Amino acid sequence: MLTPQVVPLLTDQVLIAIIAVAVILIGASAGLVVSRRRKAQELPPPAPTPRIEPAEPQVGDDAEEPRDTPTRTLEDTELPTVERPESAQGRLVRLRARLARSQGSLGKGLLALLSSDKIDEETWDDIESTLITADVGVGPTQELVERLRTRVRVEGIANAEEARSVLRSELVALVDPTLDRSLKTSRTDTKPAIVLVVGVNGTGKTTTVGKLARVLVAEDKQVVLGAADTFRAAAADQLQTWGERVGVRTVRGPEGGDPASIAFDAVKAGIEAGVDVVLVDTAGRLHTKTGLMDELGKVKRVIEKSAEVDEVLLVIDATTGQNGLTQARVFAEVINVTGIVLTKLDGTAKGGIVIAVQRELGVPVKLVGLGEGADDLAPFDAEQFVDALLD
Ligand SMILES: Nc1nc2c(ncn2[C@@H]2O[C@H](COP(=O)(O)OP(=O)(O)OP(=O)(O)O)[C@@H](O)[C@H]2O)c(=O)[nH]1
């Protein structure tokens, strides 16, 4: 047993031992450092690291480090199936046969009458009724007949070829090749072009917006669609499907929602994403003129809080003849229409509606629908249209 007197004695001895060991260790390490320094001074400078020149690649060498995972094949990679639509250039020529098929009676009928051996009053009456039946309208019909009469009197028509040339030039003049039919679809520095598509339900409005999106994508434009037609439940789905096919986003809202707020959201999304064009499919119910005015007026006003509307395209079903003209008149009173899209010109439509509707609104036909196919929407051209009538 250790007594309490022994403990402090032992502690002193242990302390002395620790100090002694510490002194020895410090001395040893100091000696080591000094000897290392001395050795370092005595050593020759390190030889420069030899520069390794990159080896010339040899046949059979890999260009890169081999991957440790096998390359995925095209089959393994999930690629979105986005279509590349056909360019709109020259479409009217491609679709000319359809136009000629449906409109043949107008052009060929007139041509036959004008090339007859004897052009008398009865012939002029027949020419007039052919034009009226083809929906050209009373005013433009009388104008055309007058001009043809004058040319026949002054120049005379010796053969079918001359008849064709006279008729062609007068019809082209009536359709008016001088009108600006370009679409305003270029963005400015600060905002996308805003295009409103209006028209009565069933005229082919949603289809036209989808086809137009394809035309713009084919021109390498970035597009956002606004499904502001909340009247028909499936219209937004239909539009979204059109958009998805060409990789274009559709902004939509709840069924039966407020068209103006969807249009606003679409424009906002387009501005934020910096796209070129925002195409808005509107709800154009023609219950009453006041209702239509309220609805379209509101859509336009709300959009214009963030961006000016550049183009208002009115879609008219060409097969509805006079009814289509009445619709056009009402819409033109409600909103400033800048261009007309005539759909279903491939069907039973009468081509004269092109002339009549332009006269009615003083606005050019900019696009024509010539079928249900995705790329069956063509930029309108007066000369190509008349050529198709006379084919
Ligand atoms: N033959 C032909 N059919 C067309 C043309 N354009 C549209 N259609 C057809 O017309 C029908 C109506 O088209 P929609 O686009 O649904 O009409 P809408 O005006 O948008 O109707 P809502 O969506 O109810 O407003 C569809 O079956 C289209 O395929 C065209 O140029 N030629």
91-175 and 193-382 in the same fold: no
> Is 284 within any annotated ligand binding site?
yes
Q: Which CATH number fits domain 91-175: 3.40.640.10, 1.20.120.140, 3.40.50.300, 3.90.1300.10?
A: 1.20.120.140
- At 351 the pLDDT is 83
Q: Which atom of ligand 1 is nearest to the CA of 232?
A: 24
In angstroms, what is the span from residue 21 Cα to ligand 1's centroid? 102
45-62, pLDDT tens digit by residue? Answer: 444 444 444 444 444 334
User: Residue 6 pLDDT more than 50?
Assistant: no
> Is there an atom of ligand 1 within 6 Å of 232 CB?
yes
Mean of the pLDDT values across residues 11-35?
A: 51
Give me the residue spans of the domains in the chain.
Answer: 91-175, 193-382
**Main-chain phi, psi angles of 378, to 5 degrees:** -125, 145
Burial class for 74, CB neighbours closer than 10 Å (0-12, 13-18, 19+)? exposed
293-337, pLDDT tens digit by residue? Answer: 778 889 999 999 999 999 999 999 999 888 889 888 988 988 999
Residue nearest to atom 11 of ligand 1 (CA): 204
> Is 289 within any annotated ligand binding site?
no
Give me the DSSP letters along 98-155: HHHHHHHHHHHHHHHHHTSS---HHHHHHHHHHHHHTT--HHHHHHHHHHHHHHHHHH
In angstroms, what is the span from residue 241 Cα to ligand 1's centroid? 14
374/44: higher pLDDT: 374
365/293: higher pLDDT: 365
In angstroms, what is the span from residue 212 Cα to ligand 1's centroid? 13
Q: Which of 92, 198, 206, 207 to mutate to test the pocket of ligand 1 (most atoms within 8 A of CB)?
A: 207
Arch. (CATH architecture) of 193-382: 3-Layer(aba) Sandwich (3.40)
Predicted structure pTM score: 0.78
Structure tokens at 310: 């550049």
Indicate if ipTM > 0.90: yes
